[in-house]
Amino acid sequence: MFANKPLIQCALFLVLLCAVFSFATPYFLSLDNMMSILSAGAVIGLLAVGATFVIAAGGIDLSCAGVMALASVVTAYALKNMGVTNPAVAFLLAGLTGAFIGGLTGALINVTRAPSFIITLGMMSIARALALILAGGIPIYGLAENITALGQGRVFGMPAAVLFLLGGFVLAGYLLGFTRFGRHILAFGDSAMAAHATGIRTNLLKLKTFALAGFFSGIAGFVFMARTNSGDPSAGMGYELMAITAVILGGANLFGGRAHLLGTFMGVLCLGVLQNGLTLLAISTFYQVLFVGIVLLLSAFLRRFSARAS
């Protein structure tokens, strides 16, 4: 039965949202607007990719938005003050900054054996603070055009930011669904003890998972930077929770063992469509926040219902 598949539920929900908005406002259903939804979702989407891995492994990452801000500041700083001009170098720098902080997070979790919630909560503050210190509290603005083109330009009619988003999801989908690494993450998320007993090197696995999540947060920082033409130390405040919301909407199990990148992608789209549609309808912000809450509760309810039905 379709109802016991969280993925299909999420897809149906998305279609329903789109239908309602297409009916309610003539501006919604246009290619231009779809692209605008995708570009607006690029940053949160890439954060959600990282969050999917962490949640699949039974952890939680509260530091992703802070890491993203740090990566955007480090990269913008290097571009403005250290003579970096090559976009590929900038891209790598952002990704590696994220991966470094992520790896550090993983190592700290291994050493302290503390829950990821606590360690990433600490890393969230540290990453944010490092970004503020490096940038002196204000955004680093005004990057070269070859960089901003990667966030604002179009490739074959498709906004570049959207390509990063899609590329991130395809790569991550491959890693989680079709590699041994991905299977190990899911097995570890399902039961850490069992995974350990089968010979998976769980400490290394955790380190790699958080480094990978950090890498995607770093890429999110790069896209943010290219899109807004600035490295901003207070970028994306609160985005970590949006990313987690998207992952949960996409049918992942918060306690690990089950996660799907396609689901996360649709979760991101649900949030993006909701925000875009309500904005086009000029519905007050206060209600937008309310709707996001209702949607999340609704998905929890649906899942409970379908679990019982099956």
Report the nearest approach of other proteins to the CB of residue 137 (Å).
5
Q: Which stretch binds other proteins (CB under 8 A): 104-112, 167-175, 225-233, 244-252?
A: 225-233
Q: Site for other proteins (CB under 8 A): which residue of 191, 196, 280, 303? A: 280
**Which residues have CB under 8 Å from 105's CB, separation 6+?**
61, 63, 116, 119, 120, 123, 210, 214
Q: Site for other proteins (CB under 8 A): which residue of 27, 158, 196, 257? A: 27
Q: Site for other proteins (CB under 8 A): which residue of 52, 217, 230, 299? A: 230
Residue whose CB is less far from other proteins, 176 or 235: 235
Going from the C-alpha of 143 to that of each of 46, 75, 82, the distances in angstroms are 22, 10, 13
Does 203 bind other proteins (CB under 8 A)? Our answer is no
Q: Site for other proteins (CB under 8 A): which residue of 115, 137, 167, 293? A: 137
Report the nearest approach of other proteins to the CB of residue 86 (Å).
22
Does 84 bind other proteins (CB under 8 A)? Our answer is no
Does 284 bind other proteins (CB under 8 A)? Our answer is yes
- Whole-angstrom Cα distance, residue 287 to residue 292? 9
List the interface residues with other proteins, window 38-67 (CB under 8 A). Answer: 39-40, 43
Does 81 bind other proteins (CB under 8 A)? Our answer is no
Does 157 bind other proteins (CB under 8 A)? Our answer is no
Does 110 bind other proteins (CB under 8 A)? Our answer is no
Report the nearest approach of other proteins to the CB of residue 198 (Å).
38
Report the nearest approach of other proteins to the CB of residue 219 (Å).
15
Closest CA to 303 of 2, 11, 6: 6
Name the site residues for other proteins (rule: CB under 8 A). 1, 3, 12, 15-16, 18-20, 22-23, 26-27, 29-30, 32-33, 36, 39-40, 43, 132, 137-139, 141-142, 152, 224, 227-230, 232-239, 275-276, 279-280, 282, 284-286, 288-289, 292, 305, 309
